Structure formats: structure tokens, C-alpha cells
Structure 1
Amino acid sequence: MLNSLYTRLALGLFVLLIAVGLVYTFVSTMSLREYYASVNQELNRDLARHLVSDRNLVDEGRLDQKALKTLFERYMTINPSIEIYLLDTEGKILAYSADPGKIKRNSVSMAPIHKLLDDMEAYPVLGDDPRSHDRQKVFSVTPVPSAQNTEGYLYVVLRGEEYDSVEMMAREGHFITMSAWAMGASLVFGLIAGLAAFRLLTRRLTRLTRIVEQFEQGEPGTGNDARLRWSDEGSRSGDEIDYLGVTFDRMADRIALQIEQLREKDTLRRRLVAQVSHDLRTPLASMQGYVESLRMKRDRLSPDEQAQFLDIALEEGRRLSHLVDELFELAALEAREKQPRLEPFAPAELIHDVAQKHGPEAARKGIELKVIGDPALPMVLGDLGMTERVLDNLIRNALEYSPEKAEVELHLAQTEAGLKVVVSDSGPGIAEQDLPHVFDPLYRGDNRETPGHAGLGLAIARRIMDMQGGAISVCNRDSGGAAFEIVLPFQPKANASQ
């Protein structure tokens, strides 16, 4: 419970409100003090002047010391919150109404006095408190003549020691109680409001957590996945939580699709292993059978029969070696251990070279191998060796499945997608149900009367074309036979200009 996001948010809100309450109390206390000081000074700004004029402190231009003493005694009784001081022009204290034992200054600073006298509405102006070395208080001041017929000042501290004592008692009593109640009420209200807001926010996060947990406990990609989705919840506000939920839905769909693809690949892998095992076992069993027969019947076999047995075993060995080489080549391409080296080359020149290489084989079978198309085609971008490997495989298959006295044609053409090369044979063609699987490794068609496809050559060809950014496809010709088409991209113009 303590580890939940809601609990942590609640604790964080509580600490934050306490801190805000303390800061608010401090700021409000300081502001109130300054406000009360301004009000007090504004209300009593003429107090010193009234005292001088009302109490007749000045008689014939001279300060009446007797009237001043009477003033001190009376106001200490009538208004004990003020303290009256008589200053000379330098700020030295000449007389006062306070207890002599509590006076700690002999003089006060004249800067605040001059500031207030220059601007009687500059509130609050704080002056030195004679009862303290560092404390300052609001005051009222007026110039008066001194006994030496020079100007002095009547300096009235408006919040004297008695006022401070009473204020301290009030603050410790009623003010603290009211502040505590106000702070407590604000804290409780803010906490309740914050918890309600956090509940509204974390409720959506809780739903998202439930969706994630169900996805974790389920089996995505099985076809009958009935997991919850954020987009089905109905509350779409477009904020970060909603974005997170929608993103998780997309991620979950992608993971489910990848799991399904992995299952399909695993199924294909198992089938490939089974087919490879069968194709490897067949030539091995044939080789083993003929070698054992040769060993057991060597004395009863003629030299021609022995040579025939050895030729068959050798042919099966070559077939087995070729299949193993293709397996290693396909594995290297799938693992991207073998990467194409793309470079521009002339396609017509490559086609004629490959056709010339397979000319003797075509001549032995009485097949005419023709190259049709414009030889002045633009440069294409691809791996020369890999492209030659694809063409070798297609031409070899075409020669294998074409009857004697037939034709195998290589058509070159320029399209918007790039260079198109079509290898057409005159064989029986491919069954329609087998066409989508022609490029699958070791695929064998159901119709065994036709040659069909069994091996890895076409799977290697498709992988090579994909790695070069090209394409390969197959279809049956209307006139009979199959037509394999490859497309290679032309060299970009920017590269050509270089």
C-alpha cells in the first residue's frame, strides 16, 4: 500500500501543504507587522507636534523643562504604549519618559528622522529604539527649540516596551490560536481536494496497470486474444496518460504480431529441418547402398557395373555437397553475415556473360539460349557477384526443365521500377497452387508428375534480391513454361553524374 503511486502522491501533497502553510504563516506575519506599523505611524504622525503645541512645551522660544517633565509623567500613565525622548540636533538623548535602567542608547540615528520629516507619507519609516542596540520601531517626531535656543527634536516611539509586551501576549494567545485553526482548516481542505484530484488521475493509471498486467499474464498472438485495450475504455482526454495508453496498445499489437510471426517462422523452421533431413538422408542412403553393394558384390560385378555403381555414388555425393553448400549460403544470408556490395554496373554486359557461360550446357541439350532486348540500358545499382548468382540459378533451372530443341529466352527491358530481366523456359510450367510457395526453402509441389521445385536456389535468389533492394517473381506463360522476373534499381542520377 505504501509503495503505490497514490500513497506517495498523498504523502508528497501533505508535506507540500505543511511547507506552504509555514511559508504562508511567516509571510503573513511579516506583512501584518509592516501593515500595522504603517497604520500606526500614519495615525500618529502628528502626535509629537501636537504634544509640543498642546502642552505648551515651548515658552518664549525656549523649551519649558517643567512642562516637559509633566508631559513625561502624564503620558506614561495615560498611554504607556508610547515612549517620549528629547533629542538634540545630533540625535543625542537629552531627556526621556522611560525607565532609566532600560535605556541602552545615548543617541539615535538622524537619517530616519530626516527622511520622515522630508516626506510625512513615507510609511513605514523605522527609527532606532533607545531600549535596544539593534531593534527599530515606528516613531513620530517634530522639531522643538532647546534650552540653548537651538533646534532639538521630540522623538516619540509609538510601539514602546509596554506595547511589545501586550502584543507578545496577544500573539501567543488569540493570534496563534486563530492562525493554527486557519492553517489547519486550509491544510485539511487542500489535502482533501488534492487527494480527490489525485484519485481522478491515478484511476486512469490503475486501469492502464490492469491492462498491462492482463497482457503480461495472457498469451498474445494466439488468435483468441481477448485482452483489454486502452482505446476501448472510453475516456479519451488526449493528455500524457491517454498517449501512454494508446502507445501501449500499439506496442501490444506489434508484440502480438511479432509473436505470431515468430510462431510462423518456427513452424517454417521445423518444416525446413524436416525437409532438409529428408533431402540429406536420400542421397546419403543412396550412396551408402551403392557403396555397400559394391563392397559385397565386387567379385560378381563386371567392371562396367562397378563403374556404374561408383558413378551413381559420386553423383549422389555431388548432390549432397551442393545441398549443404546452399544451406550454408542461405544461413549466411539470413544471418546477414554476407552483405551486398552495391556498385553500378552495365546490366546488358552481365546478361550476355552469364548466357555465354551457360551456352555449352544449352548446346548439349539442344536448347537455344537467346538474349532479347536493348543492350544500351542505363547502369543499375547492385552487387555484381550476387546478381550473377541469381541469374545462374534461374538459367540453370530453365535449362533443366525445358525439353530438347526448345528455347530459353532472357528479355531485358526498362521500366519505372528499374531494369527488368525475364528468364522464360519452355517447360511444363508450375502448378497454380504451387506458385505462391516457389521461393520457400525446399518446397515440393503436390503434383509429382511435374518437375516442381525442390531445393534452396530460389530461396537464396529471393533473399539476394531483397538485400539489394530489388524484387523477384514468377508466373506461367500463356504459351507454356514458366517465366521468372527480377527487377534491379537503376543507378541514381546524382551518383551517375559523379
Structure 2
Amino acid sequence: MKSLFGRILLAATLVIFILFIALWQWLQFSQDFSRNQIQQSLHRDLAEHMAHINPLLSQGITSDAALKEAFHDFMLLGPSFEIYTLDRQGKVIAYDAKEEKIKQSQIDTNIIDDFIQGANLPLLGTDPRSSSKDKIFSAARLLAPDGQQTGYLYVIIGGEDFDAWQSIVSEHQAPQFWTTAILIAIGFALVLFVLLLKLFTAPLSRLENDLRLVASQQLNAGVVLPRQYTGSSEINKLSSHINTLLEALSQQHQAINRQQEERHEFMLHLSHDLKTPLTSLQGYIDTWLLLPPHERSSDLIEVAANASQHLQQLLGQMLELEALENGQVTPNWNELHLVDLLEELQLTFAPRANSKKVMLNFVDSHNLTVRTDRQLLLRILNNLIDNAIRYTPEQGMIKIQTIRDLATNKVWLQVSDNGSGMHKHELTALKRMTQKPLAMMAKQTALPQLGVGLAIVRQLLGILQCDIEISSQPGKGTTFNIKLQVVSQS
């Protein structure tokens, strides 16, 4: 049975059946115990009276042949009794039965002595006609005229004939009893099943219907189960967990949608960046081909080569960004003297800045040593300075300097310019990376409308676990402050 209803029915039927069997066994034991206690109590003095009224037994005789006739007379008056005489050690001496019916010839006299001394009933003694079964009994000591004990008179209550008649009655009554008992158990199990069905499965059915309703809706914010389940604490907890799961799924769905929108905008911006040098390259080549051979100038080829170089740079940045987003770059932590890094950057960008008539100023007044990955930090600064030169007009200034806050003992590497700056929506998009855990920064999609270079900066900052502060105003310039981990100051 795979359904919940079938399992409840099967479980209820098995439980009721097991309880019924256990109850029946307990009642049977209780009935046997009570019957034995009553019968043994009623016949407690039976053996004493028999020993008193029989002349031979009253003289303490245990082995005379005439005792068998006396035993026969006693058993005619009480067919359920079996009478034996025992010696002082408990050995069976005289009895009125065929010899092959005697299975045990030794009786435990300790139980007999307990009975004679008035122990609590019922007491079960050895049945000479059974190899394993014990029965209730009555017993009395047999005394000689001089007062010496010669043995015991031992009377089994409910002997072999009683067992035979009881077996016949049980065989006729048992089938009817068990049939009735099984029908009652099945009926009770069915009633219990209906009650359990109403108690447990009704809330589950309502929950199933509500989940179907939720499944037919779009996974937007605020999608929850439409009702509270207060009838069962378990169902109420389950519905609460489902609502929590729905909320988490809704948030993830919205995050995925936002990332898709950002990636779409980024790809549009990237396609524009790629299209510009590609169009320029194609245009100059076409112009060069249309000119007569004697009028073809090398200037057009030089411009086309520059456009090709720009295109190659963009493609390289795209591959670098893909590697960063896939987690293929890991930092190599070492100590780095900032003055050496700034000197290298000055040698790299000075020719380009001079050609554009932009002042490039590197200042390290603190002579700091930091712990970082030299190549990754160099790539960050390359991208920031490259963007600064690109958007700073002639006679503008770009400044790269170290700033130390003695009050907080924080050190920042600052890249600032007085170029075109960024608009509010661009600055908000760039700052978004500083509002999330550093562990997530390297896993997010690229920010739109900021170019591949700044997207790479964002990924590298996440890998180096660097905080960044950004400020910018359109027409006044942009400032980037990167927090560094200082090792020492020379």
C-alpha cells in the first residue's frame, strides 16, 4: 500500500490485532490465575480431610494395596482429583492409575511444605502424569501413631480427565470465538481508520490543494500558502517551512532575473564597445582600398591598426573576465613595496598620458609595505588608470597616492582624476558590489554600462578581499579608494 490512507488502515488493523492478542493473553492468564487460586483455596483442606477419614491414611500407611481402592472411591466422588501417597523424600508410592501413565515419580516436597505452612495461593506442584506441566494441588502430612511423619498425601486438583473435557469444550468454542474476535477487530480498525483519516489527512488534503494553487501562479514576491493550518502543529510547521522555501525561491528567482537583465545590458554595452573599433577598422580599410594606389596613405593603415589593437584589447579583457567569473584565478599572497609598484605604473602610462597632454602624478609619502597579490593589484590599477586617462580631457590631472588614517590606522590607495566623472545610475551600479559580502563579489555578473575594464576591477577586488570607496560627480571627476592590508612602514 503506497497511499497514506492504505498505510493508516494497515497500521490501525495491525495495532488493534496485536493489542487484541495481548489483551486476550492477559485475560487468559488472569482467568487461569484466578481459577487456580479459587479452586486451590476451596480445596486447601481436601487432603487433610481425606487423610483423617481413611483408616489407613490416618495411621500413616503409604504403601498398602488397599489404598488404591480407597483412592478409587475418592476419585468417583471427585473425578477431577488424582490422589497419590509420597514418602518423605517425595517419591510416588501409591496411586490409582496404570503404571504407564506415571511420567514423573519424584515430587518437589519444598512446594508441598510451603502449601502446608500456609503460603499464598495459588501454588503449582509437579503433576506425576505430565512430563512438563505443573498443577494446583492439596497436600497433607501422613503421621504414624507415634507421631512420626511417614510421608504425604498429594492430591492433584484438575487432573487428566478434567484436562480432556476442557480440551473438548475449547475445540468447539475456539473457532466461534476467534471468528467473532477477528470481525470485531476489523470493524474497530475500520472505525479507527475513518477517525484517523478525518484527523490527519484532511489538513494534508487542504495543503495539497493549496500547493496546486501556488504552483499555478507565477513565482513572484509574496507567493505564500493562502491559509494558516492551526488544526495540527505538524501541518502548521510544515506549511511554515513551505512558506519559507517559497520566499527563498522567490528571492532567488528575482535575483536571477536581475542578473539576466544586468548581463543583457552589459552585453549590449559590450557589443557597442566591440562595434566601434570594428566599424572604424573596416571603414579605414575600405577607404584605403578605394583610393588609387598612388594616393594610398600609411596614415589610414596606422589608424586601422590602432582600431585593431583596441579590438584585440577588448577581446582579451572578455577572456580575462570569463576566467575571473569561473573562479580560475587564485591570489598569490606576498609582501609588496608600494613605491616599486607605483614606479612601474608611472613608466607604463607616462607616454600615453603625455601624448594626451594629461598630467600623471604618483605620490607615496608613507613608503608602505602591503600584503597582496602583485599581479592582481597591478591589473586593478592598470584598468583604473586606463579609464582615468580615457575620460580625462587635455590639461587634466590624474593622481595616484597612498593615504593613511592615523586615527583608524587604515591605509588606502587612491586613484583620482578630474575627468568626465560618472552619472548617478552608473555610480550606484558600481557601488553595489561594496554592499554585499566579499565572498559573493567574485561570483556576480558584470555590472552594466561600466565597461569590461571596471567589471574586471570588480572581480579582482573580490578575489583580493579589498574594500573600495567610490565618489564621482559628472564633469568633476572620479575617485577610487582601495583599502590595503599594511604589513609595515619603512
User: TM tier, shorter chain?
Assistant: 0.7 to 0.9
Partner of 1:228: 225
- Distance change in 2, residues 1:441/1:62 (3 Å): closer
The 4+ residue runs of structure 1 with deviation greater than 6 A are 146-150
387, 400, 410: which one aligns with 1:397? 387
* Contact kept in structure 2, 1:327 and 1:456, CA below 8 Å: yes
* Contact kept in structure 2, 1:92 and 1:106, CA below 8 Å: no
Partner of 1:142: 140
Partner of 1:3: 2
* Contact kept in structure 1, 2:423 and 2:474, CA below 8 Å: no
Partner of 2:434: none
Alignment of 1:5-24 (within 5 A): 5-24=4-23
312, 331, 334: which one aligns with 2:325? 334
116, 131, 146: which one aligns with 2:129? 131
* Equivalent residue letter for 2:95: Y
* Contact kept in structure 2, 1:470 and 1:488, CA below 8 Å: yes
Partner of 1:475: 471
2:408 pairs with 1:420: no
Q: Which has the higher contact order (CA 8 A, sep 6+)?
A: 2
Partner of 2:352: 361
Counterpart of 2:260 in 1: which secondary structure?
helix
* Equivalent residue letter for 1:294: W
Alpha-carbon distance in structure 2 between the residues aligned to 1:458 and 1:76: 115
Alpha-carbon distance in structure 2 between the residues aligned to 1:106 and 1:200: 60
2:387 pairs with 1:387: no
Partner of 1:449: none
- Distance change in 2, residues 1:123/1:412 (3 Å): farther
Partner of 2:205: 206
Give, in angstroms, the shift of residue 418 of structure 1. Answer: 5.1
**Percent same amino acid at aligned positions?**
25
Partner of 1:279: 273
Partner of 2:439: none
- Distance change in 2, residues 1:60/1:38 (3 Å): closer
* Contact kept in structure 1, 2:223 and 2:250, CA below 8 Å: no
Give, in angstroms, the shift of residue 313 of structure 1. Answer: 0.8
Counterpart of 2:293 in 1: which secondary structure?
coil
Q: What are structure 2's unaligned runs of at least 5 residues?
A: 432-444
Give, in angstroms, the shift of residue 443 of structure 1. Answer: 4.9
Alignment of 1:298-309 (within 5 A): 298-301=292-295, 306-309=297-300
Alignment of 1:151-300 (within 5 A): 151-172=150-171, 185=184, 188-189=187-188, 192-193=191-192, 195-197=194-196, 199-221=198-220, 226=223, 228=225, 232-235=227-230, 238-239=233-234, 241-300=235-294
2:306 pairs with 1:311: no
2:422 pairs with 1:430: yes
Give, in angstroms, the shift of residue 18 of structure 1. Answer: 1.6
Deviations 1:132-154 (A, max 9, x none): 33332121222214799871221
* Contact kept in structure 2, 1:275 and 1:442, CA below 8 Å: no
- Distance change in 2, residues 1:114/1:374 (3 Å): farther
* Equivalent residue letter for 2:483: V
* Equivalent residue letter for 1:235: T
* Equivalent residue letter for 2:127: D
Give, in angstroms, the shift of residue 436 of structure 1. Answer: 2.3
- Distance change in 2, residues 1:324/1:218 (3 Å): same
- Distance change in 2, residues 1:79/1:442 (3 Å): closer
* Equivalent residue letter for 1:292: D
Counterpart of 1:295 in 2: which secondary structure?
helix
- Distance change in 2, residues 1:327/1:179 (3 Å): same
Count residues with an aligned counterpart: 472
Alpha-carbon distance in structure 2 between the residues aligned to 1:261 and 1:252: 14
- Distance change in 2, residues 1:113/1:267 (3 Å): closer
* Contact kept in structure 2, 1:86 and 1:155, CA below 8 Å: yes
* Contact kept in structure 1, 2:103 and 2:130, CA below 8 Å: yes
Give, in angstroms, the shift of residue 389 of structure 1. Answer: 0.9
- Distance change in 2, residues 1:188/1:296 (3 Å): same
Q: What are structure 1's unaligned runs of at least 5 residues?
A: 445-452
Alpha-carbon distance in structure 2 between the residues aligned to 1:478 and 1:38: 108
Q: Report the TM-score when normalising by structure 2.
A: 0.82
Alpha-carbon distance in structure 1 between the residues aligned to 2:24 and 2:340: 91
* Contact kept in structure 2, 1:472 and 1:487, CA below 8 Å: yes
Give, in angstroms, the shift of residue 192 of structure 1. Answer: 2.9
* Contact kept in structure 2, 1:276 and 1:442, CA below 8 Å: no
- Distance change in 2, residues 1:432/1:218 (3 Å): closer
* Equivalent residue letter for 2:482: I
Alpha-carbon distance in structure 2 between the residues aligned to 1:111 and 1:345: 102
Give, in angstroms, the shift of residue 323 of structure 1. Answer: 0.7
* Contact kept in structure 1, 2:59 and 2:145, CA below 8 Å: no
Counterpart of 1:379 in 2: which secondary structure?
strand
Alpha-carbon distance in structure 1 between the residues aligned to 2:364 and 2:211: 59
- Structure 1 range deviating more: 460-469 or 35-44: 35-44
Alpha-carbon distance in structure 2 between the residues aligned to 1:341 and 1:207: 57
Give, in angstroms, the shift of residue 318 of structure 1. Answer: 0.4
Deviations 1:236-282 (A, max 9, x none): 8654x444332222222222222222223223333333443343333
- Structure 1 range deviating more: 78-87 or 28-37: 28-37
Give, in angstroms, the shift of residue 478 of structure 1. Answer: 9.9
- Distance change in 2, residues 1:204/1:339 (3 Å): farther
Partner of 1:450: none
* Contact kept in structure 1, 2:80 and 2:160, CA below 8 Å: yes
* Equivalent residue letter for 1:322: Q
* Contact kept in structure 2, 1:211 and 1:227, CA below 8 Å: no
- Distance change in 2, residues 1:218/1:25 (3 Å): same
Give, in angstroms, the shift of residue 107 of structure 1. Answer: 1.6
* Contact kept in structure 2, 1:112 and 1:126, CA below 8 Å: no
- Distance change in 2, residues 1:183/1:146 (3 Å): farther
Q: Report the TM-score when normalising by structure 1.
A: 0.80
- Distance change in 2, residues 1:20/1:419 (3 Å): farther
* Contact kept in structure 1, 2:60 and 2:149, CA below 8 Å: no
Alpha-carbon distance in structure 2 between the residues aligned to 1:438 and 1:253: 27
